[in-house]
Structure 1
Amino acid sequence: MRNRPNWRISAQDVPRKRSPVWSPPSDEQDCRQRAAMACGGYVCTKNALGALNILYVLVSLLLIGVAAWGKWFGLVSSIRVMAGVIGVGIFLFLVAFVGLCGALKHHQVLLFFYMIILFTVFVLQFSVSCACLALNKDQQNHLLEVGWNKSEATQQDVEKTLDCCGFSNVNYNGSCAATCFKDTPPSCKTCSSTIQHYAGEVLRFVGGLGLFFSFTEILGVWLAHRYRNLKDPRSNPGAFL
């Protein structure tokens, strides 16, 4: 008789599944994770730059909204003033949008142009803010008179808001938008005395606010420069993004 093959399979012949063995993360992965989460690292710099540009977006929308609100309610009738405020708001919104896109995508070109534009704005704004804080009474009066003579719409807005007539003298034979001019007899103050009363405080406020935002702009330049030179720890450590 032929010998039949033995088809029996023993338990030792069945391959056993090995349980996965946990291996601690390597030193390189640990360093990359720490660099990503540490303050001053990739993630922290990215979040700080994004938060700063979100602040700029909110400020730009506030400028546009205030200008539209003033025009809608007739508080300001000068088209040049409205266009200037809205133009500044749109420009700030575009700069903040470029900064946000560069921060989210780690885009080298966008971050470079963002740095250049923001540094230029910083130089201009810092110079104007220092000039506002350094003006004396005579210089303020001269600038106010020059601005007064340039626009009749601005004159009417100031006369209506401050209830005054004329800049340095009141011409009762002319026209005036102030309510005091309609009294009998009319008794109105000159607008120069009223404006100069608030001009110093307004210039100090504008200069201080401009200095504050100028330092945030130089902070944005520094963050963008630092962020451009950082590597993404989640990507290939040998690749420069």
Structure 2
Amino acid sequence: MACGGFVCSKNALCVLNIIYVMVSLLMVGVAAWGKWFGLVSSFRVMAAVIAVGLFLFLVAIVGLCGAVKHHQVLLFFYMLILFIVFIVQFSVSCACLAISKEQQSLLLEIGWNKSESMQREVEKSLDCCDFEQVNYNGTCEAACFKELTCDPCSVKIQGYADDALRFVGGISLFFSFTEIFGVWLAHRYRNQKDARQNPGAFI
């Protein structure tokens, strides 16, 4: 049968959703592994990654069930959810790739001022003190503080943040196109008939 047929569309949609299932399980596993070994100190970050992974897993299961059964309602909701996710993810990826250095610095400073515990963790892990200017009359968790050789944390954080934003933006942009492909594939599959069954039946 030609690749544009019913069976090919069904198999392609199943494969796409199996990939989504594997990605979601990988996200949950990596987040749990990072927390277990102490690589991720923030419970909120871990919980957010796990929540996104579980959401992706549920969407993939809905798409997989809809593809296997050619279920019109499941496929419709799968298309709708995937399209909304595409819009959000595409917007976020464009924002990550387009953000300027000044905007990065402003957002990082806002995040820095929100939590003192996070400040201490960053100072200890990156071996830096304060955000813009080191104050040696204060306190700092970094090892360099005793030697009076610390750099401001904004310099080090912005270096990591710039790389992270480019990486996240690029990966997010790539996956957003797989989502719009999934929407198109599900829409096409919904309107196809199974030639192996009654040709006049529309399941």
Alignment TM class, shorter chain as reference:
over 0.9
Q: Partner letter of residue 115 of structure 1?
A: M
Q: Which has the higher helix share?
A: 2
Matched, 1:87 2:65: no
Q: CA deviation at 1:85?
A: 0.8
2:111 aligned residue (147, 153, 164)? 147
Question: Taking every aligned residue pair, what percent have the same amino acid on both sides?
Answer: 73
Residues of 2 paired with 1:205 and 1:154: CA distance? 23
Residues of 2 paired with 1:174 and 1:57: CA distance? 49
Aligned with 1:66: secondary structure? helix
Contact 1:167–1:191 under 8 Å retained in 2: yes
Residues of 1 paired with 2:79 and 2:32: CA distance? 30
Q: CA deviation at 1:178?
A: 2.6
Q: CA deviation at 1:170?
A: 2.4
2:14 aligned residue (35, 50, 55)? 50
Contact 1:76–1:157 under 8 Å retained in 2: no
Q: TM-score, with normalisation over the residues of structure 2? A: 0.94
> Which residue does the alignment assign to 1:11?
none
Q: Partner letter of residue 202 of structure 2?
A: F
Per-residue CA distance 1:151-198 (angstroms, 9 max, x = gap): 3343233223222122112233444333323x4x33211110011223
Q: Partner letter of residue 42 of structure 2?
A: S
| Residues 126/82 of structure 1: CA separation in 2 closer, same or farther (3 Å cut) | same
> Which residue does the alignment assign to 2:200?
238
> Which residue does the alignment assign to 2:162?
200
> Which residue does the alignment assign to 1:104?
68
Matched, 1:212 2:174: yes
Per-residue CA distance 1:119-174 (angstroms, 9 max, x = gap): 00000000011111111110010011111222334323322322212211223344
Contact 1:75–1:157 under 8 Å retained in 2: no
Aligned with 1:225: secondary structure? helix
Aligned with 2:83: secondary structure? helix
Residues of 2 paired with 1:170 and 1:94: CA distance? 47
Residues of 2 paired with 1:122 and 1:109: CA distance? 20
Q: Partner letter of residue 49 of structure 1?
A: L
> Which residue does the alignment assign to 1:227?
189
Residues of 2 paired with 1:56 and 1:153: CA distance? 35
| Residues 153/105 of structure 1: CA separation in 2 closer, same or farther (3 Å cut) | farther
Residues of 1 paired with 2:120 and 2:65: CA distance? 43
Per-residue CA distance 1:34-92 (angstroms, 9 max, x = gap): xxx21011111111111111111111111111111111111222121111111101101
Residues of 1 paired with 2:196 and 2:121: CA distance? 58
> Which residue does the alignment assign to 1:74?
38
Give 5+ residue unaligned stretches, structure 1: 1-36
Contact 1:141–1:196 under 8 Å retained in 2: yes
Q: Partner letter of residue 177 of structure 2?
A: F
Per-residue CA distance 1:87-116 (angstroms, 9 max, x = gap): 101101100110111111111100000000
Matched, 1:121 2:121: no
Aligned with 1:187: secondary structure? coil
Aligned with 1:239: secondary structure? coil
